[in-house]
Amino acid sequence: MGMTMSEKILARHAGRSEVQAGKLVTCTLDMVLANDITAPPAIKIFRGLERPVFDAAKIALVPDHFQPSKDIQSAELAKCVRDFAREHNIVNYFEQGRVGIEHVILPEFGLVAPGRLTIGADSHTCTYGALNGFATGVGSTDLGVAMATGKAWFKVPAAIEVVLTGEKPADITGKDVILELIGRIGVAGARYQSLEFAGEGVASLSMTDRLTIANMAIEAGAKNGIFPCDKVTEAYVTGRVKGDFEPVAADKDASYVRRVEIDLSALRPVVAFPHLPGNTHRVEDIKEPIAIDQVIIGSCTNGRLEDLAIAAAVFKGRKVAERVRCIVIPGSQAVYREAMHRGYIDTFLDANCVVSCPTCGPCLGGYMGIMAAGERCVSTTNRNFRGRMGHVNSEVYLAGPQTAAASAILGRIAEPKDVEKSWE
């Protein structure tokens, strides 16, 4: 029996010739990740083991959730991580002001690569599957043990084959693709399974699209999401990744529990209504206007340069609606700088947006965009659970950057073609 991409990576890192879904394996790790919320409890577990770190170059610590520190408690969390990094000479410690959001900067810095195995004490660690790696989130206890041993145990996930056909239209982003998928299979549709993307349609997806799609695999309950390594992948990792890596490809006779086919050419911009990412609706099918109060463009899901370029193109020469607040958050310092050089930041400021330093901030209801009762937000973040971004009686609608920008301009949930019509 052949193996899937995920099975091949787990087998290789477990020192086995093959593995099967449902089996338990212990694997060596290529990268271990934690942030300012999850690292402190992991550090406590680590200290109890009374061992040195397994490899100071294979641990990444990124204070990004409540940073820059919003209060004394968040400052103490960051200090705990900072002190640990200095004590153990952690190579990949990324302080605020120098880098940015963890799931944006690890690919950007070449710390994840095809065929590699990464765990992180953050559920959206699955982002790195975009690069043909196996990446998944774990709890802080497992993370603390991994920092000492360089190993973790896994139950080999069964896989769903997501076959992408057709070519992605210009007004569709990776966010629309993943929301379409979650809308079809549900937020538990891939519970503890691997979402393995395939088909000729993959070629029309940029790396930004793929990172967004893999990032939200967890929102379908998946253990991980993973893409094949192709020319887009090779172009992204060339000159960026240090060290050796070995891509994987699914065998032709690999076993899948289910096959889902998505025709990219037929997709239209979608929005996930409250309070689940699977509650999706096409924007063009919304009958009654849904007025909004706030828009967030950014996060580990949609804070990359291409995302900002898409939003800036919609905003160019236009203004945010009077009753709307629009907050733009570049995902990293490099993204911020390049967006500035390309004029995107001026475009956002001219449109009356607020532009923030890189931070997770509003995505988890931390700060920089908390909502009051009764307010609505269109956001390019990855979750819209009740109370996720503020008061339990506020509402979050998930969308791609093009839809978020159009909504900010019109003051209601909209897509770019609606903006064009209003300017005719």
CB 226 within 8 A of CB 126: no
Mean pLDDT of 356-369: 88
CATH architecture of 269-418: 2-Layer Sandwich (3.30)
CATH class of the domain whose range is 5-264: alpha beta
Looking at residue 385, its pLDDT comes to 86
State how far the Cα of 207 lies from the Cα of 259, in Å rounded to an integer: 23
pLDDT of residue 248: 97
* Residue 424 pLDDT: 55
Return the domain boundaries, the chain.
5-264, 269-418
Q: What is the pLDDT of residue 206?
A: 97
pLDDT-derived band at 362 (thresholds 50, 70, 90) equals confident
Q: How confident is the model over 106-125, as a mean pLDDT?
A: 96
Residue 216 has pLDDT above 90, yes or no: yes
- pLDDT band for 47, please (50, 70, 90 cuts): very high
pLDDT for residue 299 is more than 70: yes
**Residue 406: pLDDT above 80?**
yes
Query: What single-letter DSSP state applies at residue 412?
Result: B
CA distances from 312 to 303, 328, 421 (A): 12, 10, 18
Q: Between 60 and 365, whose confidence is greater?
A: 60
Q: Is the pLDDT of residue 419 over 60?
A: yes
Output the pLDDT for position 423.
63
Pairing of strands 280-282, 151-155: unpaired
**For the whole model, what pTM was predicted?**
0.95
What mean pLDDT value characterizes the chain?
95
Sheet (strand 59-62) strand order: 92-93, 59-62, 31-35, 117-120, 134-137
Q: Is the pLDDT of residue 72 over 60?
A: yes
User: Average pLDDT of 376-382?
Assistant: 96
**Is it true that 5-264 and 269-418 share their CATH fold?**
yes
**How far is it, in rounded angstroms, from Cα 223 to Cα 217?**
8
pLDDT for the residue 363: 81
Contact between 300 and 101 under an 8 Å Cβ cutoff? The reply is yes
